[in-house]
Structure 1
């Protein structure tokens, strides 16, 4: 039996006892975790396809360890401008082992409960400040990342400025792409202080938030 399941924004074909490397999960090492966004289950000649997910199906797994992936070198060059930047990135990953695939009668998984609980956090952040800032003005942050940060309670430049870059990487682990968050808190600090000219000058030297 195997299943196609979505985990941390990516789809995987998994079988029982299979080890899988996924984007960093918030679950502690040694703990159980379950995923109910199961798109397809195949058991011999019986194939069940969801629309888009299969109601009641669930994949349960155990977190083995958290680690970082192999270094990826990103080289940027702008023609006739003498601009060359070389950066390395290591994606935050989690190794899990698939323990069971259930086709029906599964309980609601933790990810959905966490998603429902995330909304009050975003609302609380907006209520406390009166208005959320446009986080997309930070070099390297797009609409999807901005939305993810707001859901995690980071809705203003001040919130982002006091959040550690490593913590930001964990929060946006489910967003596709290689994101270097090292400069985001410092950029947000300048934005929070209204130093837009200084921020703009610095951002002209950045590429996707990378120095």
Structure 2
């Protein structure tokens, strides 16, 4: 089971007990956060949101606040004597996904059963028309 969730403006594929670095979040070490903008979930069947899946949340815990490696930005124009050097370190939060909550398997099974019946009924009709057209030629 996994989900694609939007955290601090970026999309991440998350699973239970996964550790990841995200843009700096508000909160102290050890505090719990939850994300309700879940874009897609896969739990036996795929559920795609438009734009988000309702009723599903991803719970996480902040492990630490760190800084990423330094990125050097160097600009130069040759033969002009122009050189500019800048550095940047992004502030990150390390989180661990504690759970994905809100799945209701009974509703999914009820919704999946009518679709399967419709698809099964449509397939034999499609094969009959193709065999008729092949015989006509």
Question: TM-score under structure 2 normalisation?
Answer: 0.72
Is 1:8 equivalent to 2:20 in the alignment? Answer: no
Q: Report what 2:53 is aligned to.
A: 54
How do residues 12-27 of structure 1 correspond to structure 2 at under 5 angstroms? 12-27=12-27
Structure 1: runs of 5+ lacking an equivalent? 106-211
Q: CA deviation at 1:103?
A: 3.4
Deviation readout 1:20-69 (Å, 9 max, x if unpaired): 1000001111000000000000013x110000100111100000000000
| 1: CA distance, partners of 2:9 / 2:77 | 32
DSSP 3-state at the match of 1:64: strand
Larger Cα-atom Rg: 2
Instruction: Indicate the RMSD between aligned Cα atoms, in angstroms.
Output: 1.4
| 1: CA distance, partners of 2:79 / 2:54 | 56
Q: Report what 1:117 is aligned to.
A: none
| 2: CA distance, partners of 1:25 / 1:104 | 26
Q: CA deviation at 1:75?
A: 0.9
Deviation readout 1:62-119 (Å, 9 max, x if unpaired): 00000000111111123443211112211000000000012358xxxxxxxxxxxxxx
| 2: CA distance, partners of 1:65 / 1:7 | 16
Greater share of residues in strand: 2
Aligned positions, number: 104
DSSP 3-state at the match of 1:26: coil
Question: TM-score under structure 1 normalisation?
Answer: 0.47
- For CA contacts below 8 A with separation 6 or more, give which structure has more relative contact order: 2
Structure 2: runs of 5+ lacking an equivalent? 105-137
